Amino acid sequence: MPFLKTLASLTTLVSSINAAFPVIETAQGAVRGSSSPYRSNVTVYKGIPFAAPPTGSLRFTPHQPPSNRTGILNATEYAPQCIQTKDPSAGIFYTGLSAMSEDCLYLNIWTPTYDDDEDIKSKNLPVYFWIYGGLYEMGSGDVKTYDGSGLAIKDVIVVDFNYRLGAFGYFAHPELSAESPHNSSGNYGTLDQIAALKWVYENIANFGGNPDQITTGGQSAGSASSLIMTYSDLSRDMVAGAISESGALSPRDPNTASLAVSYRMKREAEDFGVKLFNQLNISTTEQLRNLSVDVLNDLDTENEDLLVGPPFANLDMEPPEWRPVIDGWVLKEKYGKLLRTNDHADVPILTGFNKDEGIEDYNLTYFHELYTQVFGNFSDEFFKLYPAENDTQATEASNNWKRDMSKFSSWKYAADWVAGGAGTNVYNYFFTRTPQEDSEAGCYHGAELWYTFNNIPYADYTANLTWPAKDYAIADRMSDYWVNFIKSGNPNGHGLPKWEAASQEAREVMYLGNWWGSESIATDAKVDFLTRWEATLYEW
C-alpha cells in the first residue's frame, strides 16, 4: 500500500501520547508531530507530503500538488526513500536497508517545542532547508546525520525531504521534452527540490518559521542543489541565503566537470536518453513509463559505457551519470555565465571544503603522467611548485595540490560572485577535524556533518564510540557559526573567532575544526600559478 494511503488510515487514530503536541494547519490539512528521540524540547514532524506521488502517468513529469486531507495526519514516521541503488549498510550518508518507493515525495520538520500558550505563528524563526547529497543517485531525508534536533535547540527550524534520484529524477529525452510546455526534460529531481521549497515557503509560518528567512543548505550534490536554488528563476525569490558544503567551485575549476556540481546541456542530456531508449529497446514515453522499477533503477549501474564525459577531461574521475540539465527553464544558463552577469539571488553564501577530500596514494610514474595531462603547457611550473622524487612525495604533492585547489576554487568563486555585481558576502571555510568514527580516513568528504548539525553522538551509526570532549566543543562552535549564518547571513557572533568575508585582496580562508582563524589559501606563487592556469580552462 502506498505510503500516503497508509498515513491516511492513521489520521483518525491520534494517540494520547501525541495529543499534547499542537495541531499545525497546512494547505493540505492538519498535522501533529512527536518529541525528538535525541533532544528534549524539540518536536519533529515526519512524512508530510509536499507533492503527489510521481507514479504511473506522473513518472517523468514535473511534480504535481499533493492531495488535500481530512482529519489530523500523525506525522511520526519517515516516508520511504526514493528508488535508488543503495548501499545496504548504514553510514554517514545512508540509513541502510529500509523501504523504498516511487511514492517518496515527503518532508520532515524539526522545531523547538513550544509552550501551550505560545502564539506559534509569531515565533518567526529562521529556517534551514537541507538537501542531501549522493551524486543524484542515492540519499534520503531519514539519515540520522541530518536529524535537525541539534539545530532546533538553537532556535532554528530545520527541514529536509526526499527528491527523485537516478533515472527517475534526471532522465531526459526529446519525446519527454516535447510533452512539456517548456520543452524541458531531465530535471524532475531538481523540480522536486523546488516543490519542497515552495511548500515550506507557503506553510512554514504555521510551524513558527519565517518564510522570508529560508537558508538552503546541502553537501556534495546537495551543495550543488543548494546553489541551484539561488540560480533558478523558479526558486531564487524564496531563498535568503545558501550553505554549500563541498562546495562552491570556480566555474573554470576542472573538478566541476567530474563532481556533483556538473551538469549536462539539454542536447547532451537528450542524446543520452536516446541511447538509453535504444538499449532498452523502446521507442515511446508510454513504454518508458511502463518499465519496471528494477529496470529503471538498474540504469544507475549498468550503463556506464553510455556515460557522456565532460568537455575538459578531468583528472581520473568520471562525472555523475545523472545530473541537472541546462534546459532553458529550470536552469537557463551555465553557472559561469550566471555568476558573471549577477543573474542569481543576491544572497549571502557560506561554502568550503574538508582537508582530506579526494586524497589518494599515487606512485611517481602515475603522478607525472596524470599532472602532465592535466596541466599541459603549465606542467613544468606545476612540478616545480609541487615537486616529488619518490612515491611518498608524489602522494604528498598531489594531495597538497588538491587541498590548495579546493581553497583556491571556493575563494575564486567568491571573487567571481563579487565581480559579477553581487552585493552580498561569501564566507569560505576549510575544515580540518578528523571524526572519531573513521579516524583512518582523515577529514573526509562529509566529515563536517557531524559537527554542523550538532548531532554527536546520536547520529553515530556505529553506536559504540566514545567521542572526545573536544569533538563536542567543535560541534557546538561549528553549529553556532551555521546557526548565526542561517539567522542573519553572517556566521559571526559573540565569543566566536572572527570570520572575515572572502576578499580578492586577502587571499585567505577561514580554518575550522582543529584550530580557528584565517590563513592564506596557499603561497603567493601557487595562487598566481593557479590563477593563470585556471584562466585558460573551459568555463562551466
Instruction: Please count the other Cβ atoms lying within 10 Å of the Cβ belonging to residue 225.
Output: 27
Tell how far CA 27 is from the center of its chain.
Answer: 27
Among 473, 479, 518, which residue's Cα sits nearest to residue 497?
Answer: 518
398 catalytically annotated: no
How many residues can be counted in the chain? Answer: 540
Amino acid at 190: T
Q: What is the DSSP letter of 15?
A: -
The burial of 231, by beta-carbon neighbours within 10 Å (0-12 exposed, 13-18 middle, 19 or more buried), is given as buried
Tell how far CA 382 is from the center of its chain.
Answer: 32
The radius of gyration computed from the CA coordinates of the chain, to the nearest angstrom, equals 23
Cα separations (Å) of 303 from 272, 324, 474, 501, 538?
10, 18, 42, 43, 26
Instruction: Please count the other Cβ atoms lying within 10 Å of the Cβ belonging to residue 144.
Output: 17
Cis check for the bond before 491: say yes or no (omega within 30 of 0). no
Query: Which grid cell is 373?
Result: 595531462
Query: Which grid cell is 30?
Result: 492538519
* Spatial distance between the Cα atoms of 359 and 399, rounded to a whole number of angstroms: 5
Residue whose C-alpha cell is 567551485: 249
Active-site residue (options: 177, 184, 185, 220): 220
* Spatial distance between the Cα atoms of 32 and 44, rounded to a whole number of angstroms: 9
Which residue spans within 237-336 are E strands per DSSP?
Answer: 241-245, 264-265, 325-326
Burial code of 316-355, b = ≥16 C-beta within 10 A, e = fewer?
eeebbbbbbbbbebbbeebbbebbbeeebbebbbbbbbbb
| Residues forming the active site | 220
